[in-house]
Structure 1
């Protein structure tokens, strides 16, 4: 059994995709047209590449082209797909829920909306369980911090305003059992209460799209179970 998992925000790096844009000139041109700028130039621009509204389209395009290259060279097709946050759009693209252009339109809107939530941050607390992280947040009155992601039983991501994340990180670094607190390379308090306004606007935008039946099961970040066709829009929102 083969699974393809696509990376999300924080995995971007300068020069990514250089070996792909020339290989897929038509899709690269379509990306440039939808975005209104050169995707190749963006991936060379370290300053813009780390800004959410640019990071997400860049990763989506590079992930999509990487997937095409991988399947062409190996002949492999995944039995399951999944993705970390933004990467889930690539998992759905690979499964045929939407085409390359539709996926990029969704991601562009998502990145634009999420970029408005400035001043936020995220950090991965490694070594504690969900329950233990919750207890620490309660004990130290860190009420402005949300638990955003449960990556593994002992890798829990917290999210909130940047200054609050720094305060929380200092607290967690002194807690017995914590192996590491890793600040994530993001510019917003993603997967938290602070994204409610973006969620509401995105829910209206996504209603204009029609999703096709999934040809490959996609594991959802929300449920850790395969997407249900009838719940596609709700789950993405």
Structure 2
């Protein structure tokens, strides 16, 4: 069995999608029309460093991931058994599963990016060396009540999210802990997957009412629940994803329990491939 995984914010880089925009000219033109700017120029030239601003990052990654997927299935003539995406990448997983078309997905991520960009002064940091329980305990002990766990990327790679000054304070405290191997501030423009996204979630929920989705043709593993999407709760799950933790470790563990599973990352970079390698390694090391 094979699962295709789609990356989210943090995987963007100048030059991504090179070659794809000309190959899929019709969809590229469609994207330009929806966005009101050239997606090719944004990805290849990165004017005003816009690629690192969430309102641009999200549509850019969605388009590049989608075109990468279309090229892959056209060239290889194979469809995956399962799909999953990290945060923004989940929209590409739903697109691959034919829950909505390219255009609908782009309209959704454009709105998602716009709403998330309105909430400023946030930050995120990855804490390496501690598991989710240990990070939660440390946040409590250090009275960092305004910091949330945003992503469980691997058993010992936990991302925290909150106001910029609180994240800086948290990072300094985590660095003093002997078990912590590294604290890495993330190059993001907001406190994603935290309570600070509640307003964005509410507005996005309203926006979703206008759209029609189809039942997924391939199981899509949800970040929020680490199990397949159900059609009835699709819109609710997408809205919840904005202010809930990304359960990436649990999602990959769920897929690994299905039997012999191969994973292929579709889109720019290999961040998810590295995380999956870590999850597998830690699963092997854990006592049964």
Sort the TM-score into its range (normalised by shorter chain): over 0.9
Q: Distance in 1 between matches of 2:185 and 2:77?
A: 37
- 42-51 vs 14-23, greater mean Cα deviation: 42-51
Deviation, 1:27, is 0.2
Residue 39 of structure 1: aligned partner = 39
Within 5 Å, which residues of 2 pair with 1:119-158? 119-158=121-160
Residue 17 of structure 1: aligned partner = 17
Residue 270 of structure 2: aligned partner = none
Deviation, 1:186, is 0.8
Uncovered stretches (5+) of structure 1, i.e. residues with no partner: none
Residue 178 of structure 2: aligned partner = 176
Number of aligned pairs? 237
Q: Distance in 1 between matches of 2:84 and 2:37?
A: 28
Partner secondary structure for residue 4 of structure 2: strand
Q: Distance in 2 between matches of 1:154 and 1:229?
A: 32
Within 5 Å, which residues of 2 pair with 1:158-197? 158-197=160-199
Q: Distance in 1 between matches of 2:208 and 2:81?
A: 27
Are positions 1:81 and 2:93 aligned together? no
RMSD after superposition: 0.9
- 19-28 vs 42-51, greater mean Cα deviation: 42-51
Deviation, 1:70, is 1.1
Partner secondary structure for residue 19 of structure 2: helix
- 40-49 vs 60-69, greater mean Cα deviation: 40-49
Q: Distance in 2 between matches of 1:213 and 1:153?
A: 32
Uncovered stretches (5+) of structure 2, i.e. residues with no partner: 240-288
Report which structure shows greater RCO (CA 8 Å, sep ≥6). 2
Tell me which of 226, 232, 235 is aligned to 2:234.
Answer: 232
Q: Distance in 2 between matches of 1:189 and 1:126?
A: 19
Partner secondary structure for residue 221 of structure 2: coil
Q: Distance in 1 between matches of 2:184 and 2:238?
A: 26
Deviation, 1:120, is 0.7
Residue 259 of structure 2: aligned partner = none
